[in-house]
Amino acid sequence: MNREEMQACPPSSIAVVGCGHVGLVTAAGMASLGHQVVGIDKNPDLVQQLSRGSVPFLERGLPELTSQMLAEGRLTFTTSYTDALREAKFVFLCVNTPPTATGAPDIRYVRMAAAALGEELATRGRQPIIINKSTSPIGTGERIDAILSTFITQDNGHSGIVANPEFLREGSAVYDFFHPDRIVIGADSEVNAQAVAQLYEGIDAPLVMTDLRSAEMIKYVSNAYLATRVSFVNEIARLCEALNLDVDPIVTGAGMDPRIGQHFFKPGIGYGGSCLPKDVAALCYTGDSAGISMRLLSSVQEINLGQRRHAVQCLRQALGTLEGRTIAVWGITFKGGSEDLRESPALDVIRLLQNEGARIQAYDPSQVTDGDLEDAVLLSEDAIDAVKGADALAVLTDWPEFTQVDFAEVLASMPGRYVYDGRNILKREHVEAVGGIYQGMGRPITHEGQFHASVSQP
């Protein structure tokens, strides 16, 4: 999609409530499509920072897009609902819905945003269409509608609620906004659904039009299925280790079936982040509330947590004991290309290692600081600095730069020889060629005479 196509859609006035990851991508993306957008956030420091074009989190292409839209005058930020809603014909809700201890999503921020909107819109005759982009439990659209109805009278009734779930990947969110697999719109009004669909004019993607609840459910089903694939391949990897098989040609061969594919079909220490863990937990909670036992998804959660314990077990077996050992850790965030520590498998592994008496020297290429970590974690300046004096190296996040490190220098800097690749991003031969002992997830330690299969490409 080129610049002319982006600006071909009829412009509209949009307010975006919440300027976090999803909200800022939505605001900047909609502005790039030609709309006039105001981002609302209650944090004045964040609003000032964004107004200068400074994006406080890692997201490829977002700082440039935000600065460009500010310069072109189609994007502004404010803490004032009054200012933001003055001309708004559409309002996107992009607020956080963190998990509760029970697994149920916490929708207090959605409720607060709906109440703030209702209070501001109560005296207006023309009401904007409210679009919920926050990942919310089934029935949230109806709850928002009920909250707004307590403020808005019949004479100036609001236009309605639309569910428009996001499918943005951290690190690739800008690309995903402009190149989505699908655009899902759920509404009880076809007029409202079509109006929201027109906002995306110029983006080439299949359009799924459905009711409110079904749109909310699509988001949860999508993430729960992806989590299931991850846990399935991880369980297969554990079985491969027990049978002394290399998982790589097995998943490659199985994934060549187009009904299976390769996406989310790579072993590791488990999924994490702000979406998959909480969305699986939310769907389990929804099932329990409806009297349906979600046994498969409960197993998905159990396998995912077990991957962390398995990584520690591999390190323990290789070193004999973890007490007093120094473990170098490459990667702290939940995945490469992000500074997000939420539900990070790497952090879980670090805590388990510390619990057994290990000393941790960690390096992560993101903006993670000492203040983000446990006191006992020594944050290193670079990958080589982290391995100095280490008894073993554990690669726990799939940052691409780790594949470029010279392992001759690594093994010259650490007295230990054992390298545990918890993300299967390293090449075994690179480690073993300089005298290292390599083990990955579903990739057993090499024994003399062992044959490693390969896959040839036509």
Check 19, 240, 275, 284 and give the catalytic one.
275
**Please, what sign has the CA dihedral across residues 433, 435, 436, 438?**
positive
Q: To 10 degrees, the CA torsion angle through 131, 137, 138, 142?
A: -50
**Please, are residues 42 and 79 in contact by the beta-carbon 8 Å criterion?**
yes
Q: Facing residues of 438 across strands?
A: 419
The separation between CA 69 and the C-alpha centre of its own chain, rounded to angstroms, equals: 25
The CA angle 340-341-344, to the nearest 5 degrees, is 120
Residues 6+ apart with CB under 8 A from 377: 350, 354, 360, 362, 370
- Reported as type and span, the H/E element at residue 216 is helix 212-242
Q: Residue 30 in 3-state DSSP?
A: helix
The CA angle 410-412-413, to the nearest 5 degrees, is 65
- What are the CA-CA distances from residue 123 to residues 119, 150, 298 (Å)? 8, 13, 47
CA distance 168 to 103: 22
Which tokens belong to 452?
């490693």
| DSSP code at position 45 | H
Catalytic annotation present for 275: yes
- What are the CA-CA distances from residue 57 to residues 46, 171, 377 (Å)? 11, 10, 22
Residues with catalytic function: 275
